Each structure stands twice: as C-alpha cells, then as structure tokens.
Amino acid sequence: MAFLQNPLHQKGRSLIPLFSLAILCSLFFFLGSYPHRQTPSSSTPSLPCQNLPLNFTRRNNDFFPPPLDFSSHHSLPLPETPKKGHTLDFCPKNFTNHCPCHDPHRAKQFSIDKFFYRERHCPESQDEKLRCLIPVPVGYRTPFAWPKSRDYAWFRNVPFPKLTVYKKTQNWVRLEGKDRLFFPGGGTSFPLGAKGYVDLIKRVVPFKSGTVRTVLDVGCGVASFGAALMDYNILTMSVAPSDIHEAQVQFALERGLPAMLGILSTYRLPYPSRSFDMAHCSRCLVPWTKYEGQYLMEIDRVLRPGGYWVLSGPPISWKTSYKGWERERPDLENEQVALEDLARRLCWKKIAERGPIAVWRKPNNHMHCIQKLNTWKSLKLCGSSDPDSGWYREMESCITPLPTVNDVHDMSGGALPKWPKRLNTAPPRVRTQTVPGISVKDFDEDNQLWKKRVWYYTILLKSLRRGKYRNIMDMNAGLGSFAAALCKFPVWVMNVVPYDAKNQTLGIVYERGLIGTYMNWCEAFSTYPRTYDLIHAHGVFSMYMHKCNTLDILIEMHRILRPGGAVIIRDHVDVIVKLKDAVERLRWKAKVFHSEKGPFHPEKILLVDNSDIQAQHT
C-alpha cells in the first residue's frame, strides 16, 4: 500500500520559506535603521585647553542626521488645533540691558548696609517676571571672533560711554572712531597695562608651572587682568557688581572673558570651598577688616590650601601712594596693620610685598593653625555648616575648617595635579568619595561618554567645529565632562550646578581646573543680556518641570543668548516634544534629532541654531 502524506505536515513545510523570508526582512529593517558611523576611540588622548586657532577638515564619512518630525501626516483633513500660546512680543527698548535679579529699581527697596542692595534680588511673584523678549540694541553687530575680541568690541553692542571717560587715564577702554572699543589692557593699579603688572606678580606666584589654574578676581573692571592671565593658560572668574562703573561685567563678556555679577556683601560667593588657586583684588575697595573680617574669611573659604591672595591698592604701598589716593597717612597705616593682623589670625603667611602688590599664602592644612587659634582665642573655626554651601548662604565670622590630615606636610583634601593633567585625572573629591555615589570608575566613564556626545554635537552643529563660539554655558554641568570635552576648541565654559541637584559636584568641576557657579534656574542668571554664544541644557527641564514654569527658563535663555547663537537641549522625548512648541514662541527655529544612542533611545536633542539669522530689532 502506498505511503499517505499528512496534509497538515505538507502545509507546514510549505510555510517554512515564508517564515524565513519574514525573519530576513525584519533583520534588514533593524540593521538599516541605524546609521553607519564611526565613533571616537576611547583611547584617544585628550588635548589641553589651548587658545590656538583650529583647522577643521570634513571627513568623508560625516553625516547630518535628518531632524525628527512629530507633526501629524493624515491623508484626511482634520480640524485645526488651536495654538497653545502666541509668539512672545519684545520688551520695551529700555529693557535692552535688563538684568532681572540686579535691577537698580528693585535694589532701592533694600538696605544699603553692607551694600546689601547690590546682592541678588530676583522677582518673587509671577506677575513681576518678564513675559517678553529682550530687544537687541539698535545697530548691534556680531562680536569680534576670539582672540581679536580680547582687544576689540563694537560700541553699539555695549553702548556705555562713561568708562571711556571716567577711566580714560587708567586705560580701561578707549573709543576708536564712532563704533569700535579698544581695550589697552590697563587697570586702576596698572594703567600702563596688565602685562607688566602680571610680570611683577609672577616673580612670587608660579604662573608658568601649572600649579595655578583657577583665579578669582574681585572687582574685575573690564577683566584685563584675567585676559593677561590667559597667556599662562589660567582661567579667571572675574566678579564685579552692577555699580557706577557701568556694565563692567558686560564689557568683560563681550571680550570673550569669563565674568559674572557678584559682590562681597551679605551672602557667600556662589562657589564651593577650596575652589581657586589664587584670589586677586586690585583696588577693589572691599573693606576687608570690617564686619569682623567676614570678607577676608570668605576669600579664605574659597581659596585652596596653599593658595595665594594678591592685593594691590590701599593700603598696600601707602607710604608712596597716599597723596595720589587723597588719604591720610595714619589712616592708611592703621588699615594695613589691621589687615596684616587679620591675615595672621587666618594663619596666612605673607610671602612678599613688592611695589604696589602684597602676596599672602594660605596654609596647606590647619594642624598648626588649630593650635594657634586655641592659644590666641580670637577667631574660631566654623561649626557644622556645609563649607561648600554657596547659594543664599549668609557669611559667618569664622574660619572654614580644612579637611583633616595625618601629617603636618599633607595637603588638606588631597594634592591636585598640575594643569593640564588635572583636567582628566580623577580629582581628590572623587578619589575620596566626598560626593556620595561617584567613584573613579564613574568619573572615567562620564569623561568618555561626553567625548562621544560632543563629537556628535559637532555633526549636528557645524558652527561648533568651525570655532564660531567663545562663551558657552552648561546649565547642568554634572562632573564638568562636557566642558572638558570642549577643551580642544577656543572656548570657555560656565559650568552651572543647580543648588538643589542630587549630587553637588561643583567642587569636582573646580578641582578639574574648570570654573562655574551654583544656580537656581527658577531665577535669572547673574549676567547681562547677549553674553553667551552657546547654551547647553542636559536634563534641566526634567529637573525643573514641577518647580517653576519652563517658559520662564526659556525666556531667560533667550535673554542671555547672543543673536546668532545656538541652544542644545538634551532631555527625554516627552519633554522635548513639549518644549519644541514653547521654543518657537521665542521666535527661534528648532529641530529635534535622535541622540547618538539611536532612534530607540528615549533621550532626544532639541537644537536651536540661529547662526544664519540676523539680529532682530524692534
């Protein structure tokens, strides 16, 4: 009898080729959805930050990923969806240089004691906050590119003539013709230029060794001192209040130099303890010995162990300068005696007084200092307060204690490598796990991650690789790895760490040889309008989504971004989709892209590139 085939078995065999074909099609579809690209090797050595012109060449395998489109594409007509908000109007012209938290009209409401009225005083109610866009000055022009911007700026961009007259003999700034400002490099204590002044200081302070990387300049003028230090690869945080000197911080930022509004008054400076290798004051008129010495104690808090304090101007060199200062000899002599005594009680050592400058050095640790304080019974160490707390924290009349050491020769908190090695070496705060949950492995992985991300940004934003940007802000800096990855470009980065972030990492940022500040993004930043070329916001809007109105944050970003600048917002796709509509209310054109992790990762990038857009005038 012939063998009978099972019809079900025969049908199953006939379906095998169809299943195989379906599997192959699916495989090719998933492979095709990922763009073929090369990523930078993790073993690529990092370059130190250098102020050198860069030549960028295009690779053959570079690609520009298409923007994502979240709009609907229906074949049938649907009813129009009403817009959630109209395009924002421009503010009146008198708001051109408005600083919401440093508004002179609001300042009149506060006490003049200790210059408290010049501290940050931000709008509190929603009705007080701006819901309009800051207009640009009439005749605004694209700032000079770095390094030319160090010496020149367009007058129309910062139309403040007072300094050109008031500080003419001190060579702060000169007006050439009708439209160009020239910065000769002078200052109150160095009218012939900062170079000779810096040459005098470097006889005492080792600028060339890489030991000094971060400097705080109090009462910075137009930041010519910080500009001169850049020749030594030194990064200076220049700080000054909004006062009679008329927008000196705005001049500094227009030059492409790091600066922010700030004052020694009531609150601590917005930096962690042990941040700066050197602090400097050139006739900054700070009453160092008043209020129980709180201001010098604050300098001591932010100064690193072994750091330097450089002072010029009254009372230094009073014997030869008292007539020019129009001061009485006995008053100046008593002032210097009090200053010397306060520095001694802080356990500082005076290492030089030459000509117009005096230099003190902070001890490497407090082992001997504690013994002296117990003997003198004058100043005391601060108690349980967090030494790194710097956001609306009032100053105290006490010495911030340094981390304990086992030997008198040890460096409190750990020794830092010289620059540029310290940029990519795990800092002491990481090695000792001062910040919970951040290990050396986490640090190294974060470094490599941001190298890849910045490489990807240079593909999305061609102007970045072409060296168009100078002043960059990272609104949520983390460990500072975004800034570290940008060190091969001619830029500087203001690394902002939200004061209420899960991990307070600003101390780590400073130990890497970078600079930054604490901030609450529900408030306005301490800077003038049009002072940053590129703003980077990683996870900022997820962090603040339920704390304040995200439109207010976007309006603040619009205020501080220069015309022709760019914004990179990196966040969850749900946040990005919501932000895209809000961004367009600011008259920006935004595009959404996948991150370097591909189309299946929920993190997306919202890019605003205004490089081809001229300044809009009202």
Question: Which two tokens mark 607?
Answer: 């890019």
Which CATH number fits the domain that encloses residue 280? 3.40.50.150
Clarify whether residues 351 and 432 are in a common domain.
no
Clarify whether residues 335 and 246 are in a common domain.
yes
* 333: helix, strand or coil: helix
Question: What are the residues facing 516 on neighbouring strands?
Answer: 495
Clarify whether residues 365 and 430 are in a common domain.
no
516 in any annotated domain: yes
Find all residues with CB under 8 Å of 319, minimum gap 6, and list them: 329
pLDDT at position 37: 43
* 150: helix, strand or coil: helix
Which domain, by its residues, includes 333? 187-376
Question: Which two tokens mark 511?
Answer: 């130990």
- Closest of 472, 470, 466 to residue 490, by C-alpha: 470
For the ranges 79-83, 398-402, 536-540, 562-566, the lowest mean pLDDT is seen at 79-83
> Residue 40 pLDDT more than 50?
no
Pairwise pLDDT comparison (33 vs 597), residue with the higher score? 597
> Residue 38 pLDDT more than 50?
no
569 in any annotated domain: yes
Residue where a domain terminates, one of 376, 411, 432: 376
Note the pLDDT tens digit of each residue in 332-363: 999 999 999 999 999 999 999 999 999 999 99
Clarify whether residues 291 and 208 are in a common domain.
yes
Pairwise pLDDT comparison (8 vs 493), residue with the higher score? 493
- Tell me, what DSSP letter sits at residue 127? G
> Residue 168 pLDDT more than 90?
no
- Closest of 274, 239, 241 to residue 258, by C-alpha: 239
> Residue 5 pLDDT more than 50?
no
111 in any annotated domain: no
Tell me the average pLDDT across 378-387. Answer: 89
Distance (Å, rounded) from C-alpha 166 to C-alpha 172?
9
43 in any annotated domain: no
By the 8 A CB rule, do 210 and 231 touch? no
> Residue 618 pLDDT more than 90?
no
Clarify whether residues 348 and 440 are in a common domain.
no
Note the pLDDT tens digit of each residue in 74-127: 433 433 333 456 899 999 999 999 999 999 999 999 999 999 999 999 998 888
pLDDT at position 212: 98
Pairwise pLDDT comparison (257 vs 376), residue with the higher score? 257
Clarify whether residues 469 and 330 are in a common domain.
no
13 in any annotated domain: no
Note the pLDDT tens digit of each residue in 217-229: 999 889 999 999 9
pLDDT at position 247: 82
pLDDT at position 63: 54
User: Taking all residues of the chain, what is their mean pLDDT, rounded to a whole number?
Assistant: 87
346 in any annotated domain: yes
By the 8 A CB rule, do 260 and 518 touch? no
Report how far Cα 513 is from the mean position of its chain's Cα atoms.
12
pLDDT at position 244: 64
pLDDT at position 26: 59
> Residue 56 pLDDT more than 90?
no
By the 8 A CB rule, do 605 and 460 touch? yes
Clarify whether residues 348 and 430 are in a common domain.
no
Number of domains in the chain: 2
Pairwise pLDDT comparison (76 vs 464), residue with the higher score? 464
Clarify whether residues 472 and 355 are in a common domain.
no
Distance (Å, rounded) from C-alpha 217 to C-alpha 299?
11
pLDDT at position 378: 81
392 in any annotated domain: no
pLDDT at position 19: 61
Pairwise pLDDT comparison (400 vs 18), residue with the higher score? 400
- Closest of 475, 497, 485 to residue 450, by C-alpha: 485
Clarify whether residues 338 and 487 are in a common domain.
no
Residue where a domain terminates, one of 376, 398, 413: 376
Q: What percent of the chain shows pLDDT beyond 70?
A: 84
pLDDT at position 221: 86
Q: What percent of the chain shows pLDDT beyond 90?
A: 73
316 in any annotated domain: yes
Clarify whether residues 208 and 316 are in a common domain.
yes
